[in-house]
Amino acid sequence: MPKPKRPRLMMVAGEASGDLHGGALAAALLTRNPALRIIGFGGAAMRRAGVEIKFDIAHLGIVGIFELLFHLKAILSAYKMARSLLASGIDLLILIDYPDFNLRLAQAAKRIGIPVVYYISPQVWAWRTGRVRKIARCVDRMLVIFPFERPLYEAAGVPCDFVGHPLLDEPRPGVERRVYLQSKGLNPEGVTVALLPGSRNREIVMHLPVMLAAMEQLAQTLPGLQLLVPVAPSLSMERVRQVAGPRTLPIQWVEGELYEVLGSADAAVVKSGTATLQVALAGVPMVVIYKLSAITHWIARRLVRLNAIGLVNIVAGERVAPELIQSEASADRIRAEVAHLLQDAVARDIMKQGLQRVASRLGSSGAARRAADAICAMLPAKRGLA
């Protein structure tokens, strides 16, 4: 009697955050069904979880319109390989974020009859809303991480599950503030601000110098101010410190340890993005900033249809944290907003209450497990696989 066929899944992530989410999802899938064989595009996290990596995504994490042009050859090569893998016999295609690449791949999969699941939605609620119609034609099921996304897809006829946000599964170690600051050579009683300038080199160049300049201004009226800067694993510590240049303030540059840093901070200055939700989960009052090249900002203003850009404010449905965008993200404005948070207890408490509302709207832990359940349920329905 022939052996039962092992379900063969293909998972495609295009950047570091997608690799992390893909790793958690792959681990949950293989826990639920160890017979699965998962191949795909990813990095270290997906490889550790048991995915057979056919293409390493180190060269696909691209930000900005013009950066894309310089990586076009690598992207086209990756797409050609992905099409070839689809043709080799795949029972289900799992796509994670990275929409410009993944939606094209979804179309290719549908043309040859491979069902498609999309985990972590393109930001159709922010810009290029017409993509919802395209998704409806080529995606069998959306697994979304924000509650406001589900009605958008259901209105377009796309089967959709809200599985909760993967950030809720990140370990958030308890930290005793005094002990942590002392371990970093800082004053355990000192006013401490965390700076989160981003996880890509371009973001560091755009945000870190102005953040530091603002803090140097603030230190003139707030003696004893000290800084913690968690450096993302995707960045070179040497490069980050080079961009920062010589500074007079007490600064500790920390590799990783994001939640330890946030647990020791009185306030944070944060580049707009997922990090604003991490700060919200830690309950730290924040100022959100974002700077782009002039031409990219000009284009974005004509494409984006949102009253806020910070995810913390988008999830809240209101302006919980101040946002300073482009020219508004000046050292003087950042200094003023941080000073307000540090000196006004009422403003701090109001923001903390708003951050608690944001955390409650992200669902509950177990996003990868719920996504894995939805995916495994599709296998017998679509391919007769157990």
36-80 pLDDT, tens digit each: 999 999 988 999 999 999 998 876 644 444 445 446 777 888 899
Domain boundaries, the chain: 8-164+366-383, 177-361
Query: Which pLDDT band, with edges at 50, 70 and 90, does 199 fall under?
Result: confident
Fold of 177-361: Rossmann fold (3.40.50)
- What six digits make up the tokens of 62? 């691209």
Q: What is the mean pLDDT of residues 129-146?
A: 90
Query: Which pLDDT band, with edges at 50, 70 and 90, does 151 fall under?
Result: very high
Reported as a single tens digit per residue, the pLDDT across 118-134 is 999 987 765 567 788 88
Separation between Cα atoms, residue 19 and residue 32, nearest integer Å: 20
Q: What is the mean pLDDT of residues 7-11?
A: 96
pLDDT at 376: 94
Counting every residue written for the chain, the total comes to 386
276 pLDDT higher than 70: yes
pLDDT at 123: 79
Query: Which pLDDT band, with edges at 50, 70 and 90, does 304 fall under?
Result: low
Q: What is the mean pLDDT of residues 87-96?
A: 95
Q: Tell the burial category of 385 from Cβ atoms under 10 Å away from its Cβ (0-12, 13-18, 19+).
A: buried
Reported as a single tens digit per residue, the pLDDT across 10-48 is 999 988 788 989 999 999 999 999 999 999 999 889 999
Task: Tell me 4's DSSP state.
Answer: P
330 pLDDT higher than 60: yes
pLDDT at 65: 42
5 pLDDT higher than 80: no
Separation between Cα atoms, residue 8 and residue 81, nearest integer Å: 17
Give the closest residue to 274 by CA, choosing from 306, 326, 310, 307: 310
Same topology, domains 8-164+366-383 and 177-361? Answer is: yes
CATH of domain 8-164+366-383: 3.40.50.2000
Pick 77 or 214 by higher pLDDT. 214
Query: Which pLDDT band, with edges at 50, 70 and 90, does 309 fall under?
Result: confident
Lowest mean pLDDT among 7-11, 106-110, 293-297, 353-357: 293-297
DSSP per residue, 281-293: HHT--EEEEE---
- pTM assigned to the model: 0.85
Candidate ranges 1-5, 99-103, 267-271; pick with highest mean pLDDT: 267-271
Separation between Cα atoms, residue 192 and residue 250, nearest integer Å: 10
pLDDT at 4: 57
386 pLDDT higher than 50: no
Q: Are 8 and 90 within 8 A, CB to CB?
A: yes
141 pLDDT higher than 50: yes
Query: Which residues are bridge partners to 142 per DSSP?
Result: 118, 160
Averaged pLDDT score across all residues of the chain: 88
Query: Which pLDDT band, with edges at 50, 70 and 90, does 310 fall under?
Result: confident
Q: What sign has the CA pseudo-torsion 51, 54, 59, 60?
A: negative
Indicate the residue type of 315: V
Query: Which pLDDT band, with edges at 50, 70 and 90, does 186 fall under?
Result: very high
pLDDT at 297: 47
Pick 232 or 210 by higher pLDDT. 210
Q: What is the mean pLDDT of residues 217-233?
A: 94
Helix (H, G, I), strand (E, B) or coil at 153: helix
CA 78 to chain centre: 22
Separation between Cα atoms, residue 308 and residue 319, nearest integer Å: 8
Lowest mean pLDDT among 55-69, 174-188, 275-289, 325-339: 55-69
The torsion of the CA quartet 377, 381, 384, 385, rounded to 10 degrees, works out to: -10
